């Protein structure tokens, strides 16, 4: 019998993934995808925000804001 910790059952089956891109064409900004935690598969990224060169992204610890920094 396999026992799982209680916190594993409470986790979500997917995780949001935010992808920052450089300023080179054809990138258009910040992309969003979903990571399936059970299979490890990443969904096809879709454009979430059109921004010039968001090379670095950081999520606020509460998950309420996504910060982007990069070149102009």
Q: What is the pLDDT of residue 2?
A: 47
pLDDT number for residue 23: 73
Q: pTM for the whole thing?
A: 0.74
| pLDDT tens, position by position, 3-57 | 445 555 555 699 999 999 877 777 889 999 999 999 999 999 999 999 888 889 9
Give 7-66 as a DSSP string.
HHHHS-SEEEEEE---SSTT--EEEEEEEETTT--BPPPEEEEE-S---EEEE-TTSS-E
HSE toward the beta carbon, residue 12, CA cutoff 13 A: 6
DSSP-derived pairing of the beta strands 66-69 and 29-36: unpaired
- pLDDT at residue 4, rounded to an integer: 47
């Amino acid at each position: 019998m396999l026992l799982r910790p209680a916190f594993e059952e409470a986790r979500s089956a997917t995780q949001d993934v935010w992808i920052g891109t450089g300023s080179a064409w054809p990138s258009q900004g910040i992309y969003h995808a979903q990571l399936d935690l059970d299979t490890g598969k990443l969904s096809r990224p879709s454009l979430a925000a059109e921004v010039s060169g968001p090379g670095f992204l950081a999520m606020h610890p509460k998950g309420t804001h996504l910060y982007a920094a990069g070149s102009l």
